[in-house]
């Protein structure tokens, strides 16, 4: 106990995670939203959490172009473990579903130039009841190092009052590995609305969940966006190279979203400088969703090296069915911005948009060229006060890059 306390003190002095990774938001695939805790390989061998699923996804990421546009990490979530630690206290994967072990899986993923992510929990148990890392932090980080893991999501179900200290100890041991492991922390989301120490989490973690869990529903996606509208404790300010707010996985290509809603989630996640983790069956994804996920113009906005998260610039009602909002984020290219207009209203008739670049806080007197990031088409040069004329259907988003003339 004294030892751990000293380590925490030492980490406080050393300061922060020092791994040089996630200088732009990490991109990849994550198991949870789409595949959940499906451990029934007997009846559902294609979809259960297993080495086969990870290897299938790795093959798709390589073959179908995802890796080429930046998706790199393949991350297991809850339910990969055996229910018991082994005799020396180490975590072990479920032997039937991961017969060759995690190192084998990491080697396979690495052979394609991809990286492997894994999930732990800071409490006594994971959210689904598998062994937690409390009292085993050093041992578990050692396992990750031995296996060659590249990203770690640490959850916080059943975490106690010393939750954040546990993450600090974890950060200390991750630093000790010398291995660049992306450290994704869930404790802001577990603590909920009263969480305010964004400065602290940005020092300790490469990304952190702060909003509610995503599900396969537009309502939930929009609820997360509303959290970003509120921007409680000005959390947007703490996003930047090496440390990102994480609004949870992308559900593009799953069952529930319309084309416009998919554009909205992907486009707004790009504006939020969010980690882009697809949670979708890449073996069966429809072409339109795949093309969206591969859209290089949108990804370039997300991956802009300045790493400044978008802020809401204006918002007004469109009928009594909801709000239309305008967002902007500066881009690295001098004087350039990305702008988004999100129609959160459910009114059937498309919302007539006539916002001006001035409404987005832009100031270049000569005006700007606007390009639609989804289809690459130019909207032409616009003076500062010239309306951007659009008709935006319910739940759809306009996303544009804006370059000074």
Q: Mind telling me the catalytic residues? A: 155, 213
Asked if 82 and 93 touch (Cβ cutoff 8 Å), the reply is yes
Q: What's the gap between Cα 312 and its chain centre?
A: 19
Complex with ligand GLA: residue 107 or 213, whichever CB lies closer: 213
Length of the chain: 405
Tell which one of 127, 185, 224, 341 touches ligand GLA (CB under 6 A): 127
Complex with ligand GLA: residue 62 or 213, whichever CB lies closer: 213
Tell which one of 186, 264, 265, 279 touches ligand GLA (CB under 6 A): 186
Complex with ligand GLA: residue 77 or 140, whichever CB lies closer: 77
Indicate whether 32 belongs to the interface with ligand GLA (CB under 6 A): yes
Indicate whether 245 belongs to the interface with ligand GLA (CB under 6 A): no
Tell me the residue nearest to ligand GLA as measured from the CB.
Answer: 127
Indicate whether 155 belongs to the interface with ligand GLA (CB under 6 A): yes
Tell which one of 59, 64, 213, 372 touches ligand GLA (CB under 6 A): 213
42 CB neighbour count, 10 Å cutoff: 8
Residue 206 CB, nearest approach to ligand GLA (Å): 16
Complex with ligand GLA: residue 4 or 157, whichever CB lies closer: 157
Strand, helix or coil at 171? helix
Asked if 269 and 402 touch (Cβ cutoff 8 Å), the reply is no
Total residues at interface with ligand GLA (CB under 6 A): 8
Residue 276 CB, nearest approach to ligand GLA (Å): 15
Binders in 339-398 for ligand GLA, by CB under 6 A: none
Indicate whether 216 belongs to the interface with ligand GLA (CB under 6 A): no
Residue 133 CB, nearest approach to ligand GLA (Å): 14
Indicate whether 78 belongs to the interface with ligand GLA (CB under 6 A): yes
Residue 166 CB, nearest approach to ligand GLA (Å): 16
- CA gyration radius, the chain: 22
Closest CA to 394 of 322, 328, 289, 292: 322
- Bridge partners (DSSP) of residue 338 are 329, 401
- Separation CA 361–CA 80 (nearest Å): 47
The answer for residues whose C-beta is within 8 angstroms of residue 174's C-beta and 6 or more apart is: 17, 19, 141, 152, 181, 183
Asked if 235 and 210 touch (Cβ cutoff 8 Å), the reply is yes
Closest CA to 328 of 347, 319, 315: 315
Q: In the chain, count of helices (H) and strands (E)?
A: 12, 16
Complex with ligand GLA: residue 47 or 186, whichever CB lies closer: 186
Indicate whether 128 belongs to the interface with ligand GLA (CB under 6 A): yes
Q: Which residues here bind ligand GLA, judged by CB under 6 A?
A: 32, 77-78, 127-128, 155, 186, 213
């Amino acid at each position: 106990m004294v030892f751990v306390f000293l380590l925490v003190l030492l980490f406080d002095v050393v300061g922060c995670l020092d791994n040089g990774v996630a200088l732009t938001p990490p991109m990849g695939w994550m198991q949870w939203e789409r595949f959940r805790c499906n451990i029934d390989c007997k009846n559902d061998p294609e979809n259960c959490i297993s080495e086969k699923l990870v290897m299938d996804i790795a093959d798709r990421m390589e073959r179908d172009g995802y890796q080429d546009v930046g998706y790199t990490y393949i991350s297991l979530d809850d339910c990969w473990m055996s229910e018991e630690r082994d005799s020396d206290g180490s975590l072990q994967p479920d032997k039937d579903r991961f017969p060759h072990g995690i190192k084998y899986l990491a080697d396979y993923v690495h052979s394609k130039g991809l990286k492997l992510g894994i999930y732990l929990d800071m409490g006594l148990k994971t959210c689904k009841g598998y062994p937690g890392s409390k009292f085993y932090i050093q041992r578990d980080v050692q396992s990750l190092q031995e296996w060659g893991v590249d990203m770690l999501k640490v959850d916080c179900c059943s975490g106690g009052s010393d939750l954040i200290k546990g993450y600090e100890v974890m950060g200390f041991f991750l630093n000790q590995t010398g291995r660049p492991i992306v450290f994704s922390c869930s404790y802001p989301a577990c603590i909920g609305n009263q969480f305010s120490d964004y400065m602290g989490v940005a020092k300790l973690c490469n990304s952190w969940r702060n909003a509610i869990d995503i599900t396969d529903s537009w309502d939930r996606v929009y609820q997360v966006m509303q959290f970003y509208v509120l921007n409680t404790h000005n959390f947007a300010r703490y996003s930047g190279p090496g440390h990102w707010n994480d609004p949870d996985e992308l559900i593009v290509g799953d069952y529930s979203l319309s084309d416009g809603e998919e554009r909205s989630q992907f486009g707004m996640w790009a504006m939020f400088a969010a980690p882009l983790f697809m949670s979708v069956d890449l073996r069966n994804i429809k072409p339109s969703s795949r093309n969206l996920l591969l859209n290089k113009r949108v990804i370039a906005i997300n991956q802009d090296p300045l790493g400044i998260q978008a802020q809401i610039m204006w918002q007004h009602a469109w009928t009594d069915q909801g709000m239309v909002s305008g967002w902007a984020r500066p881009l690295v290219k001098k004087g350039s911005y990305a702008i988004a207009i999100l129609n959160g209203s459910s009114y059937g008739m498309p919302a007539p948009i006539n916002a001006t670049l001035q409404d987005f806080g832009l100031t270049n007197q000569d005006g700007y060229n606007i390009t639609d990031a989804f289809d690459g088409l130019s909207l032409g040069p616009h003076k500062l006060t010239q309306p951007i004329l659009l008709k935006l259907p319910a739940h759809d988003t306009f996303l544009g890059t804006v370059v000074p003339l």
